[in-house]
Amino acid sequence: MPITMPQLLQILPNAGLVAGVFVPFLNTAMSRYQIVGAKRIAAFIAQVGHESGHLTRLVENLNYSSDALRKTWPSRFDVELASAVARKPEQIANIAYGNRMGNTATGDGWRYRGRGLIQITGKNNYWACGEALGLDLIAQAELLEKPQHACMSAAWFWATNGLNTLADAGKFDAIIQRINGGQNGAADRQVLYAKALKVLA
């Protein structure tokens, strides 16, 4: 049961014109990774919809205020550092993501910041995703900003992290936890999920 453009726009109204671009790529990616049936598709569309601002953002926005930096990464930004780098996305990425997730070289945090519909983040994840999709994401990280790869990388992440099983069980909070590492944006994700279940019923 592929998703249609009218259905996608009912769930993610802010997608606007890009919905037409994404529908075929979403259907191809969901089919490849067994994201089939109303429960799985509803959970997937709700999560990617939230993560990408209704399919409009395919690269992580790191334009944080000092307060937001302290809240998001309290162990990485003290008051002084947060004030110094606020609203400087490249510096923020290199501090937030440096020396972890396979990011070892100077600038890796920025180079391998979140991209795709479910923000693939860190050199290790780019490598694993690239291996699975047959793409050289280490050399061309920006490929994940193309709609077809943004969709496929999200479906790969979903399947690799066992999210179909959680979707089948209706464990939506556990899905958020696996994608986000917390419950950021949980209320919005829940609204999208409820809407998606209704549209796809």
DSSP string, 50-94: HHTTTTT--B------HHHHHHH-TTT--HHHHHHHTT-HHHHHH
What the chain holds in terms of domains, given with CATH numbers, is 5-58+146-200 (1.10.530.10), 66-133 (no CATH)
pTM, entire model: 0.94
Convert the pLDDT of each residue in 66-96 to its tens digit: 999 999 999 999 999 999 999 999 999 999 9
Asked if the model's pLDDT at residue 182 lies above 90, the reply is no
Q: Which two tokens stand for residue 90?
A: 């490249």
How many other C-beta atoms are found inside a 10 Å radius of the C-beta of residue 139? 9
For the segment 182-189, the average pLDDT, to the nearest whole number, is: 91
Place of tokens 């309290």: 74
Query: Across the strands, what pairs with 115?
Result: 59, 120
Place of tokens 């939230």: 50
Please tell me whether residue 115 adopts helix, strand or coil conformation: strand
pLDDT in the model for residue 94? 97
The Cα 85–Cα 118 span in angstroms is 26
Contact by Cβ (8 Å): 126, 137: yes
Please tell me whether residue 137 adopts helix, strand or coil conformation: coil
Amino acid type, 120: I
Convert the pLDDT of each residue in 92-121 to its tens digit: 999 999 999 999 999 999 999 999 999 999
How many other C-beta atoms are found inside a 10 Å radius of the C-beta of residue 201? 7
Task: Identify the DSSP state of 24.
Answer: H
Q: Which two tokens stand for residue 193?
A: 């999920």
Asked if the model's pLDDT at residue 1 lies above 90, the reply is no
